[in-house]
Amino acid sequence: MENATVRVVARIVAKSEKVNELHTLLHGLLEPTRKEQGCVNYELLHNRADPTDFTFVEEWASQPAVGAHLQTPHMQQALLKLPDLAAEAPDIRSYSVAN
């Protein structure tokens, strides 16, 4: 289990009047995050039925890689902007693959 990757699902719900701004902010995280050491996969999903609902589906090489990701300048800047754009705090959950 030591070498197992970490999967993260992070759901962010936009304020109804801030959907486009939140989309721009979240989409801007894709390129720099995908270049981070330890990033295996990083996707942004947009709910077809609810335009305020965004979800990142992530795979990281290790828990320390996830921690480093949260400390990057692009993530820190995004986290500062979230309270103005999101209807609630992000729901971020970490998983391992069940064997």
Q: Please, how many CA atoms are within 13 Å of residue 85, restricted to the half-sphere of its CB? A: 20
> Beta-carbon neighbour count of residue 45 at 10 Å?
12
Per the structure block, which two tokens stand in for 75? 């993530």
| Band of residue 63 on the pLDDT scale cut at 50, 70, 90 | very high
Q: CA–CA separation, 66 vs 20, rounded Å? A: 27
Please report which helix (H) or strand (E) contains residue 55, including its range.
Answer: strand 53-60
pTM of the model: 0.92
- Average model confidence (pLDDT) for the chain? 95
Q: What is the pLDDT of residue 76?
A: 97
pLDDT in tens, 71-81: 999 999 999 99
HSE-CB at 73 with a 13 A cutoff on CA atoms is 1
Topology annotation, domain 6-95: Alpha-Beta Plaits (3.30.70)
